[in-house]
Structure 1
C-alpha cells in the first residue's frame, strides 16, 4: 500500500493534481481567511471615536470592543472543527460565513456599547469558521516537502487581514467505505468532539506550541489596541494618517512569507537527506530559534516578521506530526491564541492594580515593549528546545 506521503499515481488523489488545480482552491479559501481576521482590528484606529459616540468611559472597555471579537474567534473552533469533519468543510464554511456577514454588518447599526460588544462577539464566533479549518486540506493536496509554501500563502491572509482591516478514490472500485460507516453517527460526533480535548490534555506538543503561539498573538493585539494612542497623542497624527502605520505589520508579514518559507523548506529537505530520508516533524522547528531572538529584539516590522516565521514553523510542525488529525491540533493553537489576543489588551490595563491605569502609562512604551521581549525569550526558547 502506498504511504500518505508517496501515494500511487491516481489522478483523483489530490496530491497528484496539477499544480494549478491545487492552488486555485487554496487561493480562493485564502480570500475567506482574509476577511474575518480583518474585522478584528478594523475598529482599532477609531476606538476613541467609538468610545465618545457610545459613551464608553471605562478604560478597560475600549480595548474590549476590539478584543471581544477574538473571544468568539477562540470559542467557535471548539464546535466548528468537529462539525466540518462530520458534515464537510464547504457546508460549514458557507453557513457560518453567512452568519458572520450578518452579524458583522449589524455592528454598524449598534446604538449602545452593549449591542456593539455582543455583535462583535457573535461576528468572531461565526467568522472563525474560515480560519484554521483548511490546514488539513493543505495536507491532503501537498506532499510534506511542498507544504511550506502552501501554508505560507494560506497563513499570510489571516495575518495580512488585520493589517488592512480527503479526497481519495480508485477508478472502477465501488465497494469503498470510510471508517465512519462502521460507527453510529452519535459515536462519530463523540469521537470528533473529544479529540481536541484529549490532545490538549495528553500531548505536550499541543500544550507547548499553543502556549507559545498564544503569547505571540497576545503581543500582536496589544500593539493593535494601544499603539494608536502613541501615534495620535504623542506624535499628534490624525487618525487617518496614524492607521497607515499598520502597513508596517503587513510588510513584516509579507517579508517573512517570502524568506521564511523558502528557508523552512530548504532546512527541512536538508535534514531529511542527512537522516537517510527519515521524516520528522522536528525538522520544521529550527527556524524558530533565530525567529524567537528577533522577536525579542524588534517590534512592529521586525516583530511581525519574526512572529509570522514562528507561526509558519508551528503550523507545519503540527501538520507533519498529526496528519489527518492536524485540524484538531491546529484548533488548539487557534483557541489559545485567540484567548490571549482577547485577554492581553485587557490584562495590560489591570496589571498594576489600578483599574484606570495602563502598563504603558507606568513604564512607557520602551520599557513595556522591552518587558514583553524578555518574556518572549523566556517562553519561546524553552518551547523550541522542548520540541
Structure 2
C-alpha cells in the first residue's frame, strides 16, 4: 500500500518516501539494467547503447516523526514544501492537480513493483538512484525531436568541416611561404603534416575528458583553442612560430574529430546513426578537399597566404558560436548526475545520486585505456591491425593528394594556383555519392539484416567497403594514365569522383566495423586507429614531391594504385571469415 500526503510526499507501506513533483517522477526503484561505466562509454561511440532504466528514482529513507515535525516547511500552492520547489524553477508545477497526478503515477508504479516481488525477496535496487523517468523522458537525448537531432548533426558537421579545412588549406601556402622564409617547399610541407600529426596526440587528452565531463565542455574548449591558434600563424614572422602553432592547432582541432562521433551515438539509434555518421564523415573529407580550393584563390590574390589562417579563424568563430547555442550536453551519465545534484539540493536528501556518482575517477584506468591498451590491441587483434592499416593508407593517400594534384595540374598542365585546385571538386562529388550510397545501404540491406538477427551484424559493413575498395584503384589508375598534358583534362578530373567515393566508403565503413566488433573496447580500438592513421596522414605528404617528380605522375600514382589493390582483399576476408575471427578475439564483445 502507498499513501499520498498533502505535503507532496508519497509514503509506501514499507516506509519509503518519494517526492513526486510533476516533471520529476519519483519511483522507489531504479532499474537493474543500468549500464556499467565501461559499457556506457563504448555505447557512446558505437551507437549501440543499451536502454537506460526507465524511471527517475529520487526517494529517500523515511524520517522519524520528530524529524518530520522539525523539518516541516511552509507549503506553496502546489502543496509541496517551499524548499522543494526552490531550485526547480524550470519545471512547471502549474497546479495541485498536476502534483496529484504525479502521486498517482508514483503509487501505481510502486505497487506494481511490489506485486512483482516474490515473498521474502529483498530489495536490490537503490531507492535513491536517479535515472530516466520512463522511456519517453524528454531529458534523455535519445528522445530529442528529430529536427533537433538533425540540426545538431549538421552543426557538428560544420564544426568538423572547419577543423579539417584548416588541416589542408595551408598546403596552398607552401610555395609563397618557402619563398618568403627562404626554405625549400619540402620543408614548408611540414605546415600541413604537423597539423595532421596533432590529430594523433589530441585524442589522448580529449577522449578521457569527454568521458569525465561530458561531450560539450571538451568539444568547445578544444575548438576554441584551435581557433585561437590561427592568430599566431597569421601574424608569424618565422618558421618556428608557424610550425609550433600548426601542431598545437591540430592537437586542439582533434576534439571535434574525436567527440562528435560519440555525440551522434548519444542521440541516434543504430540505423539513423549510420546516416548521421555518414554526414559527419562527409564533413571530415569535404573539409580537407575544400581547403586547397579556397586556399588556392586566397594565396594568388592580394590577400596573400596569411589569409588562409584568417579565413579559418572567421569560419571557426562563426560555426563555433552557432554550435555553442545549438549543441547541448548529450552524455547520459553526466546529464543524470546533474539531475541528481539538482534534486539533492531541492529535497535536502543528500543520499540521492546518479550511477556515475558511485564511481571514483580512476586516472590509472583511463591512462591504461588510452595509452597502453590501444597498442596492445593493435598487436594482438588481426581485425584491428588490418583494417587500421587499410584505413591509414587511405587517409595518408588523401593528404598526399594535396601535394600531388598541384604537380599534376599546375606544373604539368600549367594552370594557376586557383584553377589548379578546382579538380578537387570532383573528389567532393565522389564523397557525396559515397554518402548517398551508405545511406541507401543502411536503410535497406543493413536494416533488414539487423532485424533478422536482432542485433547489428558487423560483417555487413564490409559490403560498401568492398565497393569502395574497388572504386579507389580504378580512380587512381584512371588519374595516372590521363595525366599527360596532351590528353584533355576532363577525364583526369572525373577520376577524382571515383577516388572520393572510394576513400569515403573504405574509411567510414572500416571505422564502423571496428566499433561494431569491439563494442565495450571500441574506445581503445579507435584510439589505436586514430594514432596510426594520423601518423600516415602526416607522413605521406612529406615524400609526395619526391615520388611524383622522380617517377612522374603516371607511375607514381600507379604505384599507389598497386598498393591499394594489395589491400583490397582485407574487407573480403572479413566479410567471409569475420565472424569466426571475432570468436577467437580476446577483446571482441
Contact 1:163–1:246 (Cα < 8 Å) also in 2: yes
Contact 2:399–2:537 (Cα < 8 Å) also in 1: yes
Which secondary structure does the structure 2 equivalent of 1:130 belong to? helix
Partner residue in 1 for 2:412:
234
Deviation at 1:301, TM superposition (A): 1.8
Alignment gaps of 5+ in structure 1: 350-357
User: Using CA pairs below 8 Å that are at least 6 residues apart, which structure has the higher relative contact order?
Assistant: 1
From 169, 173, 191, the equivalent of 1:42 is 169
Partner residue in 2 for 1:304:
500
Partner residue in 2 for 1:115:
241
Contact 2:189–2:542 (Cα < 8 Å) also in 1: yes
Deviation at 1:42, TM superposition (A): 0.6
Please give the alpha-carbon distance, in whole angstroms, between the structure 2 residues aligned to 1:222 and 1:186.
37
Contact 1:139–1:323 (Cα < 8 Å) also in 2: no
1:378–1:317 Cα change, 3 Å: same
Contact 2:370–2:524 (Cα < 8 Å) also in 1: no
Contact 2:194–2:538 (Cα < 8 Å) also in 1: yes
Measured against aligned partners, the alpha-carbon deviations of 1:271-319 in whole angstroms (never above 9, x if no partner) come to 334x543432222122211210111110422111111011221232233
1:4–1:361 Cα change, 3 Å: closer
Contact 1:133–1:327 (Cα < 8 Å) also in 2: no
Contact 2:467–2:505 (Cα < 8 Å) also in 1: no
Alignment coverage as a number of residue pairs = 377
Which TM-score applies when normalising by structure 1? 0.88
From 505, 510, 516, the equivalent of 1:314 is 510
Partner residue in 2 for 1:138:
264
Q: Which shifted more, 106-115 or 323-332? A: 323-332
Partner residue in 1 for 2:59:
none
From 421, 425, 439, the equivalent of 1:261 is 439
Deviation at 1:365, TM superposition (A): 1.0
Partner residue in 2 for 1:95:
221
Measured against aligned partners, the alpha-carbon deviations of 1:192-219 in whole angstroms (never above 9, x if no partner) come to 4445444434433332222111100111
Structure 1 residue 244 corresponds to structure 2 residue 430: no
Which TM-score applies when normalising by structure 2? 0.59
1:279–1:255 Cα change, 3 Å: closer
Structure 1 residue 360 corresponds to structure 2 residue 548: yes
Please give the alpha-carbon distance, in whole angstroms, between the structure 1 residues aligned to 2:171 and 2:255.
23
Contact 1:136–1:325 (Cα < 8 Å) also in 2: no
Deviation at 1:100, TM superposition (A): 1.1
1:126–1:324 Cα change, 3 Å: same
1:296–1:288 Cα change, 3 Å: same
Structure 1 residue 33 corresponds to structure 2 residue 160: yes
Alignment gaps of 5+ in structure 2: 1-31, 34-47, 55-134, 292-330, 345-351, 477-495, 579-589
1:324–1:296 Cα change, 3 Å: same
Contact 1:86–1:189 (Cα < 8 Å) also in 2: no
From 343, 349, 355, the equivalent of 2:539 is 343
Partner residue in 2 for 1:280:
457
1:205–1:132 Cα change, 3 Å: farther
Partner residue in 2 for 1:182:
359
Partner residue in 2 for 1:291:
468
